[in-house]
């Protein structure tokens, strides 16, 4: 039987919640009542403590949502998107994001890696999709994020990139000759 409190969590469409998310979802502004309610639902097995201040509905929570909640602001990018989209072939089980800080965290068995990027890039939503519980870069944005952070990075496959989108997004990095660097990658890559 799902109670009203847990039903509200399921109806949110999210699988991972911060303490503040729970307060908003349940409409609680009394911190002590909130903490008691979280403790109660955790003991009942209706909430799983993922890490301090982070809870999930069950063990099938979204790792991407965790990445978004562990360090905010951030969005999924770099190796995670590049592998998923076939631009690199070497698998890395860590979830990679860009943020305003460089950090590494472990949550359970999963590793979360954040690379620092300047604020004007981080807060620009060009090439970023909102998936409800997290934000994720398009393959073009992830390609540019990676090039911005490591200018001599090796990509296995650039064939599926929309070159016009890449050039359009490249302007947000505000780096002299960044489009030239991108064009050199396309010229040198022979797929």
Q: Supply the pLDDT for residue 94.
A: 97
pLDDT bucket at 155, cuts 50 / 70 / 90: very high
- Taken in order of first residue, the domains within the chain and their CATH numbers are 4-61 (1.10.10.10), 64-188 (no CATH)
Q: Supply the pLDDT for residue 190.
A: 61
For residue 151, pLDDT over 90 is answered with no
Q: Supply the pLDDT for residue 1.
A: 40
For residue 3, pLDDT over 70 is answered with no
Q: Are residues 124 and 173 in contact, defined by beta-carbon separation less than 8 angstroms?
A: no
Q: Supply the pLDDT for residue 2.
A: 46
| pLDDT tens sequence across 37-53 | 999 999 999 899 999 99
Instruction: Determine the Cα–Cα distance for residues 71 and 96; give it in Å rounded to an integer.
Output: 12
């Amino acid at each position: 039987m799902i109670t009203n409190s847990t039903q509200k969590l399921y109806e949110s469409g999210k699988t991972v919640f911060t303490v503040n998310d729970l307060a908003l979802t349940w409409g609680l502004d009394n911190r002590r009542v909130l903490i008691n309610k979280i403790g109660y639902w955790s003991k009942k097995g209706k909430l799983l403590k993922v890490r301090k201040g982070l809870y999930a509905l069950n063990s099938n929570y979204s790792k991407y949502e965790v990445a978004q909640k562990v360090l905010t602001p951030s969005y999924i990018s770099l190796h995670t998107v590049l592998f998923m989209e076939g631009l690199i072939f070497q698998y890395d089980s860590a979830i990679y994001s860009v943020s305003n800080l460089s950090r590494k965290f472990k949550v359970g068995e999963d590793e979360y890696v954040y690379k620092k990027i300047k604020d004007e890039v981080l807060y620009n939503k060009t090439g970023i999709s909102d998936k409800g519980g997290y934000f994720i870069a398009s393959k073009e944005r992830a390609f540019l994020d990676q090039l911005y952070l490591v200018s001599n990075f090796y990509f296995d496959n650039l064939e599926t990139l929309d070159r016009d989108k890449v050039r359009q997004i490249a302007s947000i990095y505000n780096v002299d000759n960044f489009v030239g660097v991108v064009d050199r990658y396309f010229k040198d890559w022979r797929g």
